[in-house]
Amino acid sequence: MDEVTKTRFKVLAGLAVIVVLVHLVLIKVFVFGGTKADSGNKKEAAKVKEPPVSAPAKPRAYRYFVPSKNPRFGMALDYSGAIRGNLPAKAVAGSAGARSGIIVDMDTRKVLWEKNSSRPVPIASMAKMMTMLLVMEQLEKRADITVRTPVSVTKTARDVPRTGVLFLAPGESFTVQELMVATAVKSANDAATLLAEYFGGSVPAFVGMMNTRAMQLKLRNTSFINPCGLPENKRNSMGSAADMVMLGEQLLQYPLLMQWCNLKSASIRDGKTVFVNTNKLVNPRYPGVDGLKTGYIRAAGSCLTFSAVRNQRRIMGCVTGFKSSRERDRFCRRLLDWAYQQP
């Protein structure tokens, strides 16, 4: 082998060695994950990409609102086993006096009895349930207002027809709580109107809020013309007995409001003006009754949305159209006792 051939052989051998080494390096990188330095870099990269561990979410703090623990809260009512029309007099006397009515086991959503419960009828002061609900919802949302916030009497409130009123005077001021108690207990039309104007900016704007909320709650047979339930220009706030129960259920989530609805009497003006609850079912003789709202105008008759808890069982009902509050209350007491006897 001459010198030229030897040189060529050495060059080729060297190239072969280089090729083999390159392949070994590539195999190590792509098959075994690279060098220790590369592996360390990948671990560091993985650490960077890991999402940070978030702290457990804190439960929302409420001021006045307490969410219902009833898993069926707000669900549709079940009419499948309901007694319809007038109840047998031997079971519950007096149902013939009702234009419409309903009574519901709220824990199961079962309607125990109903009479024209989906028919829109004048609801009179039961409209104040929506007024009170919106005020409580606004209090929950607005940090700048509490139940102790003073509200000055306005001309709008003073101009409310002088029936079922506090006779608010120029220059007077009342706290939100005082006005709410007067609305819940006395059913004061001027107090409800003043609250509506204060929280809505104007009464028409607040009435718009009432009707919007009714749609949100799927109260399909309910509409409002004012915050107090008085007739205006031969028009009335309308609603069905079933809708009033569903509306009343919303109030249960505001324990302070329910305390007001459950007062037998209250006062304002440093005790100079005293009023008693228009809901006579709020009485120690009728165990468990904790509200809700009465109503009367000529077109509506005597109306009542009522609520009670006995043995941890919530029953709610509504009746409209009775000729007198006495006849209405007698029937509602019997109806409640009968409802609690049903399985």
SS3 call for 273 = strand
Q: Is the alpha carbon torsion for 113, 116, 122, 128 positive or negative?
A: positive
Q: Has 173 been annotated as catalytic? A: no
Q: Has 237 been annotated as catalytic? A: no
Annotated catalytic residue within 100, 117, 125, 223: 125
What is the pairing mode between strands 110-115 and 83-84? parallel
What is the pairing mode between strands 110-115 and 150-152? unpaired
Residue 102: exposed, middle, or buried by beta-carbon count in 10 A (0-12, 13-18, 19+)? buried
Number of other CB atoms surrounding residue 55 within 10 Å: 6
Q: Has 280 been annotated as catalytic? A: no
Euclidean distance between CA atoms 49 and 59, whole angstroms:
29
**CB neighbours of 102 closer than 8 A, spacing ≥ 6?**
111, 113, 114, 115, 117, 241, 242, 245, 317, 318
Annotated catalytic residue within 187, 223, 237, 302: 187
Annotated catalytic residue within 115, 128, 186, 293: 128
Catalytically annotated residues: 125, 128, 187
